[in-house]
Structure 1
Amino acid sequence: MCGIAGVVSVGPPRLLDGPLKNMLQVQGHRGPDGRGSWCGAVGGSQVALGSVRLAILDLSDAGLQPMQSPSGRQVLVYNGEIYNYRELRAELQGRGVHFHTQCDTEVVLQALAFWGESAFERFNGMWALAWLDQDAGVLLLSRDRFGVKPLYWHLTADHCFFASEIKGILVGSEQRFNVNRTAVARYLQQAQLDAQDETFFAGIEVLPPAHFVRFELRNSGHLVASRHRYWTAPHEEILRDGTPPDFAAVRGTFIDSVRLRLRSDVPVGVLLSGGVDSSAVAAAMQHVLGRDAELQLLSVVSDDPRFSETRFIERMTTFLGGAARGCRVRFTAEDAFRMLDQAIWFNDEPLPSLSSVAHYLLMQRARDLGVKVILCGQGGDELLCGYLKYWAFYLQSLVRSGHWGTGLRVLSELAARGTALPEVQLSEAKRYLPPWLVPKQIDIRGPRLRGDECRVDIGLGAGGVVERQLGDFYRFSLPALLHYEDRMSMAFAREIRLPYLDYRLVNMVLPLAPRWKMRAGWSKWVFRKAMEADLPPEIVWRRDKQGFANPQSEWLKRELRPQIEALLRGDMVTATHGLLDQSALRRRYEAYCRAPSDRGSISFKDIFNPIALEIWARQFDRFLSLDA
C-alpha cells in the first residue's frame, strides 16, 4: 500500500525529478515508511516513476519501490494489495521464476514480466500501478476491477502526469486547470464523485476500474496511448427459473475473501457499524482466526438515540466473545466543524456527507491504536441490493414485464415486514431532474453552471435490477464511497480492505435474479440465509440499518448555523466565479432552517453540497483557473 506518481514526456529533454519530488511530497501522508524514485530515457521518451510506501507485507527494505527486475529491464510502482500473491508466487516458481523478497510487489513485477497484460485477470485484490518495460518501450497503467485504489492522469500530446491523488498532478504539472463545470453540476444535483471518469479539474481524469492504459514509447514526437478493458462484471441474470442459489458456496466464498484479506504483517482490525455487512465481516474474521484470536472492533457512535448503533455493536461484540476489543468513537457537531476543512483537503473534491468526516475521525483513532489494516463492509449494499431504492427498481421491472401478481406479492411482503417504500419527496426527486427542470426557487446555480454543457445525463434507463446495480458499481454510489474511503483512511496511512468486492463473490452473487436478493420483504436475502448460522438473529435479520448515521440535518440548522451563516455572508469564491448564486443560497438556507423536517423541497444535500463546494474552492483556488 502506498501512493504512486509518475511523469512521461516526449520532445526536448526536460528535468522530471523536480516535479516528481513535489508529487511525492504532497502525497507523503499515504506512505510514511519509505520513498523512492526512478528516472530514465526509454525510446524517445523520458519517464519518471515514484512511490511513497506504507509497509504491510515484508516490512524490510526489500519491499521498497520503485522495484526493478534483476536485469533492470522492468520497473514497477504499485499501490494496493494482491491478496492471492502467495498462490501466484507458487505458480510462477513452478514455471521457473525466481524470487528475492517475500512481498507481493515482486509477485506483481514478475507476473507482468511473465504473463504481460493478461496478469491483471489473475490478480485478486486492489491496485493502481505503473509498469515499465524498457526493452519493449511499453508503459502500462492499470487499476483494479472495482476502482478500490485510485489512479488519476492528465494527458496531452507530449506528456502525461499520473498519481494516486489529484493533488499530486496539480503540484507536478505546475499549471492551473479549468474547473470542470459538468462535474460540479453533477455533484450539486446528485452528489456524484468520479462519475464518467471525470474530476472537478478539467483535463484530469480517473482511470476507469477494470482498465489499463498502454503507452508506446516511440521516437514519434508525441505520446501514443491506448485504453483497454480487461474484465467485465456479469450482467445477465441467472437462476430466474426458481432454482435456489448455493448458499454454502456464497458463505464459503465470502469467508475465503475475508481469509485472503487477513494476510498482513501488521495488526488488522474491522469497522463495525452494527449492520449485517460489517458484522458478517467480523464473524468471518473470527471463523478464520479462531475463537481466541484478538479482534479490534472500530465503531462510530452517536449520542442521539435516533442514530445510535450502540445496542447492535454491543450485541455483536458480546457474540464474538472476550477476545473482541471494541473502540467506540463519538462523533459530534464540534468534530464535524473542526475536521470538515481537513477532510475536504485530503479528499481533493467536496465530500458527499458528514458521515465522511466521521470516517476521517475513526481513521485517526485507528492510527492512534496502531491498527494499520482495517476490513469493512463497503460494497455490500451495491452487491446485495441493500438500498430501499432497489425495491422500487424491482417492482418497476415486474410491472414492465407484466408480472403484476408477483409485484403485488412483493408489496404485501414488504408491508407485512413493516417496510414501506420511501415517500417520493421533492428534495429526493429533484436529484433525478435535469437542471433546466429544477424549480426556480430552489435553483442556486450561478451563470457558469446554466449552460447546455452543464446538463446532467442521469442515465437511469429502463434496465433491470442487475443493470441498476452495475450503475451503482461504476457510476453512482460506489465510486463516491470508494473515493472518500481511500482518502479518509490514507490521510492517516491506514489501509482499508473490502471483502464484498472480491471478484469471485461478485461473479457469484451479482447476476442472481432479483428474487434471491430481495425476498419475503428482506433485502440481501441470499446473504442473510448464507450467514444465518454465523450471526445473532437480531443482527442477521435486522430490520433497519444506519451505518455511520448522525443528526447532520439538525446540525446544519442549529449547532453549525453560526459558521454557515458567516460563510454565506462573506466573500464566496464560488459566487465570484459564477458557480453559485450566493443570494439564492442564503435564501435557500434560511428556508431550510425554517422547515420542521428534512422532508420538504430542500434536503440536507441541497445545503451541504454547495457549502462543501465553497470550502473546496477556497482550498484549491490556487490550482484552478475559475474564470475560463
Structure 2
Amino acid sequence: MCGITGIFAFNEIGRFNLPNLSRATEALDHRGPDHQNIYVDEFVGLGHRRLSIIDLSNAANQPMSAENGRYQLIFNGEIYNYLELKKELTAFGINFDTESDTEVLLQLLIHEGKAALNKLNGFFAFAFYDLQKGEMLVARDRFGIKPLYYYEDEDRFLFASEMKSILRYGIAPQIDHNALYTYLQLNYLPAPKSMIKGVEKLMPGELLIVKKKQVEKETYYKLSDTFTDPFNGNYDDAKAVLREKLEAAVQKRLVADVPLGSFLSGGVDSSIIATLAKKHHHDLHTYSIGYSDNPFFDETEYAEAVAKKIGSKHKVFRLSINDLQNYLPEMLSHFSEPFADSSALPVYALSKLTREEVTVSLSGDGADELFGGYNKHAALYKLWNQGAKEKLVSSFGSLWKTLPQSRNNPVGNLFRQLHKFSEASQLEVDEQYWLLASLQSAQSVTNLLSDNVLDAIDYEAFDSWKQDSLSSMNTKSINSALQTDQSLVLQGDMLPKVDLMSMAHALEVRVPFLDHEVVAFANSLPDNFKVNGKMKKRILQDAFREELPSKIYNRPKHGFEVPLLGWMQKELKADIQHKWLADDYIESQDIFDVAGVKKLKLKLFSNNPGDSHAHVWALICFQEWYSNYIES
C-alpha cells in the first residue's frame, strides 16, 4: 500500500515538468511514510511513497527495476495470490531477489504484459515502464479499490494516487461545472469525473498504454459480465459456496509482515469478516467507534457482543462532539476533491486510532452493494411488488411532505423514507433508482447554483452520462440495482472514502467482500436470494446466522452516520453563518446563489430542518476543498 505518481513527457515542453516529480511525490507522504524514491530518464519520471507491508527490507523499495533498468514499476496495493504466481514464474527459471509481491508483479508484467492483469487477485494501481520500447502501462484494479487520477494534454501525461499530487505539476485548476452539478446531487463524484477540468479518474478494470504522443485506453474487466452466468444450485447450496469463498478471501488477506486487525462496527458485514479472520488469526484485534453524546447513533454494544463471541481483543473508541470538531479540519484537508459522505469523519477517526496499534485492517465494505443491504434496496423491492400497504403509502404523498423529516430520530427518519417512497412510486424504474440514490434533486441543486454556473453546465452531456450510468436499470430487478450500485456508489463513494481516510494515516484497509471470485459468485445469485419482502442481504445473513450473536440481527441499520444536525445547529453554527456560507463570501465566489443558500440556512436552523443538514454538509465540504485547492 503506497502512493504513486508520474509523468510521461511527449516533447521538450513536457520535459519542463520533470523537476516537479519530487514535489508531486512528497504530496503523497501520508500514504507511504516508510520510504520515498523517484526514477527519472529523458522523458519519464516515476515517484513512489512506500508503506511497507510485505517484505519490509530495503530491497523491496520502489520504483523497482529489472534487467539493468530496462523495466521500472511503481505499485500501490497488494497482490494476494503472489506466492502462487511466484511459484509459476520460478518454474520458468525466473529468480527473485526479494520476498515481495511487488517483484512478482514486475516479473509477471515483463513476461506476460497486460495479460498479467487477469491473473491478479488483489487491489492495485500501478505504472509499468519499458524503457527500450518507450512504453508505459498504467492500470487500476477490477473494482476501483485503489485510486488513480490522470491528466493528458499535447505535452504530457500525468498520473497520481491523489489529485493533490497531480496539481503539484503546475496545472492551473479550474472547476468542472458538470462535475459540481453531479456532486451536489450524489454527494460524491463517480469515475471518470473529477472536480478539476481535464483531470479524470481511470475507471475500474481499465488500463492505459502510453507511448510517444498517444494514450490508448482498454478495458480488461467488465463488471456486467459477472451478471450473465446464473448460479444453478438451490439456496442451501449457495450459502455453502458463499461461506467457502468468503472464508478463502479473508484468509488470503491475512498475509502481512506487520500487525493486522479488523474493523468491527457491530453490523453483519464487519462481524462476518472479523469472525472468519479470527479462525485463522488467533491474536486478532478488533476496533469500533461510538458516540458518547448521541446514543441513537452508537452501535458499540453490538460490536462488543461479536468480539466477546469470537474472542477477539476488542477496543472501543468513543467520540464526543468535541472530538469530531477537532478532527474536522484535518479530515477535510485530505479530500482531493469535494466529498460529502459524512461517514468519512468516523472512518477518519477510527483509522487514526486503529493505526496506533496495527498497520493493516480488514473491513466489511462492499457487502451492501453485492447482496442488497441498503434501505433503497428494500424500497425498490416494495415499489416493484406493491401490496395494499405500499399502495396506501404511495397515495399519501402530500401528507408525508408536510410532516417533520430528519435522519436524526426514528420518527423523523420514518416520515422522510415514506415521503421518498411516495415520490419514487410516480417515476420510471431508472429514475426511481436515481431518486433513492441521490442526496438532492436536480431542481434543488439548480436553486443553489449561481446563474453563471448554471449557464456553464452542459446539460446534454450530463444527461448522456446519467443515462449511461443507469443503463443497467432497465428492468425491475434487484440485480440491476446492485450492478448500478457497484459501478456507481461503490467506486464513487464507499471505496474512495475508505481509501482516503485510512491512507491519511498510512493504514492499509483490505476488503474481502471485493475478492473478484466472491463478487462473481454474488452477482450470479438470483434476486430473491438477496432481498425479499422481509429481509435485506438475506443469503449473507442466513449463511452466517449460527456464527453471529442473535442481537445483531433485525435491528435498524444506521451505517456509519454522524449526528450532523445537532452539531450544525450548535457547535458549527457560527462557522456556517460567518465562514463557509457567509453571504459576502458566497457572493464573492459567484458559484452559489446567495438567496438559495440563505433559504437553506433558514431551513437548517428551523424546527423542520428535513435533510437540510446533509445539503449544508455538501456545501461545507466543497468550500473547504475550494479554499485548499482553488483559492490557495
Q: TM-score, normalised by structure 2?
A: 0.87
Aligned to 2:269: 277
- Are residues 1:8 and 2:14 paired? no
- In structure 2, the partner of 1:377 is 364
The CA deviation at 1:543 is 3.0
Contact 1:57 1:265 in 2 (8 A): yes
Distance 1:398 1:92, change over 3 A: farther
For residues 138 and 166 of structure 1, what CA distance do their matches in structure 2 show? 24
Correspondent of 2:593 among 577, 581, 594: 581
Structure-to-structure mapping, 1:544-559, within 5 angstroms: 544-559=556-571
Q: Distance in 2 between matches of 1:64 and 1:236?
A: 41
Inter-partner Cα distance in structure 2 for 1:123 and 1:389: 33
Deviates more, 1:556-565 or 1:61-70: 556-565
1:212 to 204, 207, 212: 207
1:300 maps to what in 2?
A: 289
Please tell me whether the aligned partners of residues 266 and 302 of structure 2 are also in contact (alpha carbons under 8 angstroms). Answer: yes
Describe the superposition over 1:543-565 as per-residue Cα deviations: whole angstroms up to 9, x where unpaired. Answer: 32223223212211223212211
SS at match of 1:347: coil
CA distance in 2, matches of 1:393, 1:502: 27
2:322 to 334, 337, 358: 334
Provide the C-alpha distance between the structure 2 equivalents of 1:491 and 1:383, rounded to a whole number of angstroms: 27
| 1:557-580: CA deviation from partner (whole Å, max 9, x where unpaired) | 223212211225647665423211
Q: Provide the rounded CA distance (Å) in 2 between the counterparts of 1:368 and 1:436.
A: 41
- 1:329 Cα deviation after fit: 1.7
**CA–CA distance in 2 between the matches of 1:525 and 1:77?**
41
1:438 equivalent to 2:443? Answer yes
2:37–2:49 Cα contact (<8 Å) kept:
yes
Alpha-carbon distance in 2 for matches of 1:490, 1:117: 27
Cα deviation code 1:510-540 (max 9, x no counterpart): 231110001461111111222223222223x
Pairing 1:224–2:211 present: no
Per-residue deviation at 1:592? Answer: 2.1
The offset of 1:24, in angstroms, is 0.7
Paired position in structure 1 for 2:452: 448
Aligned to 2:96: 99
Counterpart residue identity of residue 511, structure 1: S
Percent identity between the two aligned chains: 29
Q: d(CA) in 2 for partners of 1:434 and 1:348? A: 20
3-state SS of the aligned residue for 1:132? strand
**Paired position in structure 2 for 1:528:** 541
The 8 Å contact of residues 4 and 160 in structure 2, kept in 1 or not, is answered as: yes
Q: Distance in 1 between matches of 2:297 and 2:496?
A: 24
**CA deviation after TM superposition for structure 1 residue 280, in Å:** 0.4
Q: CA deviation at 1:240?
A: 8.1
Residue 425 of structure 2 corresponds to residue 424 of structure 1: no
**Structure 1's 434 and 495: CA in aligned 2 closer, same or farther, altered over 3 A?**
closer
Which of the numbers 359, 374, 381 marks the counterpart of 1:387? 374
Residues 267-297 of structure 1 show CA distances to partners (whole Å, capped at 9, x for unaligned) of: 01111110000000100001122xxx22211
Question: Which amino acid in structure 2 is aligned with residue 263 of structure 1?
Answer: V
Cα drift, residue 265 of structure 1? 0.2
- Of residues 234, 243, 264, the one that matches 1:251 is 243
1:110 is aligned to 2:107: yes
Paired residues in the alignment total 587
Q: Does 1:39 align with 2:40?
A: yes
Note if contact 1:76-1:130 (Cα within 8 Å) is conserved in structure 2: yes
Kindly provide the CA deviation profile for residues 319-376 of structure 1, in whole angstroms up to 9, marking residues without a partner as x.
022xx2222222332233332222222111223233211111111112222x100111
Is the contact made by 2:246 and 2:518 (CA closer than 8 Å) also made in structure 1? yes
Distance (whole Å) between structure 1 residues aligned to residue 278 and residue 444 of structure 2: 52
Tell me the alpha carbon deviations over residues 68-114 of structure 1, each in whole angstroms, 9 at most, x when there is no partner.
11332211000000011111111111122211100000010001111
C-alpha distance in structure 2 between counterparts of 1:103 and 1:582, whole Å: 55
Contact 1:573 1:614 survives alignment (8 Å): no
- Is residue 582 of structure 2 the alignment partner of residue 595 of structure 1? no
Q: Matched residues in 2 for 1:100 and 1:240: separation? A: 46
More displaced stretch, 113-122 vs 565-574: 565-574
Match of 1:265 in 2: 257
Query: Any idea what the Cα deviations from partners look like across 1:396-427, whole Å, max 9, x if unmatched?
Result: 5568xxxx99x99xx9xxxxxxx989313499
> Which amino acid is 1:60 matched to?
S
Letter in 2 for 1:362: L
Correspondence 1:498 to 2:511: yes
Query: Which one has a larger percent helix, Structure 1 or Structure 2?
Result: 2
Cα deviations by residue, 1:382-409 (Å, 9 ceiling, x for unpaired): 011001211233345568xxxx99x99x
Shift of the 103–434 alpha-carbon distance from structure 1 to 2, 3 Å rule, reads closer
Q: Which letter does structure 1 place at the counterpart of 2:219?
A: R
81 and 574 in structure 1: CA distance in 2 versus 1, 3 angstrom threshold: farther
CA displacement, residues 43-62 of structure 1 (integer Å, 9 cap, x when unaligned): xxx11111011000000001
Distance 1:448 1:436, change over 3 A: farther
Q: Does 1:611 align with 2:613?
A: no
Q: Quick check: 1:212–1:228 contact (8 Å CA) kept in 2? A: yes
1:229-240 → structure 2 map (5 Å cutoff): 229-233=219-223, 234-236=226-228, 238-239=230-231
Structure 2 distance, partners of 1:331, 1:427, is 36
Listed as ranges, the matches of 1:107-256 within 5 Å are 107-172=104-169, 174-193=170-189, 195-217=190-212, 223-233=213-223, 234-236=226-228, 238-239=230-231, 245-256=237-248
Query: Structure 1: which 5+ residue stretches go unaligned?
Result: 218-222, 412-418, 624-628
Query: Do the aligned residues in 1 keep the contact of 2:173 with 2:630 (CA within 8 Å)?
Result: no
Alpha-carbon distance in 1 for matches of 2:441, 2:548: 49
Q: Secondary structure, in 3 states, of the residue corresponding to 2:106? A: helix
SS of equivalent residue, structure 2 residue 417: coil
Amino acid of the structure 2 residue aligned with 1:389: K
d(CA) in 2 for partners of 1:331, 1:566: 26
| 1:352–1:480 CA contact under 8 A, matched in 2 | no
CA pair 571-9 structure 1, distance change in 2 beyond 3 A: farther
Equivalent in the alignment of 1:351? 339
Q: Kindly provide the amino acid, as one letter, of the partner of residue 36 in structure 2.
A: R
- The letter for the 2-side match of 1:621 is I
Residue 508 in structure 1 maps to residue 509 in structure 2: no
Provide the residue aligned with 1:564 in structure 2. Answer: 576
**Cα RMSD after superposing both structures:** 2.8
In the other structure, the counterpart of 2:19 is 18
| Equivalent-residue separation in structure 1 for 2:483 and 2:455 (angstroms) | 29
Between the aligned partners of 1:531 and 1:547, the Cα distance in structure 2 is: 20
Q: What's the secondary structure of 1:423's corresponding residue? A: helix
- Post-superposition shift, 1:12? 2.1
1:477, distance to aligned residue in structure 2 (A): 4.5
> In 2 relative to 1, CA 275–30 (structure 1 residues): closer, same or farther, beyond 3 Å?
same
* Contact persistence 1:237–1:513 (CA under 8 A): no
CA shift for structure 1 position 241: 9.4
Distance 1:124 1:314 in 2: 32
Please name the residue that 1:415 is paired with. none
Deviation of the 1:209 alpha carbon = 0.6
What are structure 2's unaligned runs of at least 5 residues? 395-412, 425-430
User: What SS does the corresponding residue of 2:227 show, helix, strand or coil?
Assistant: coil
Measure the CA separation in 2 of the matches of 1:351 and 1:244.
Answer: 40
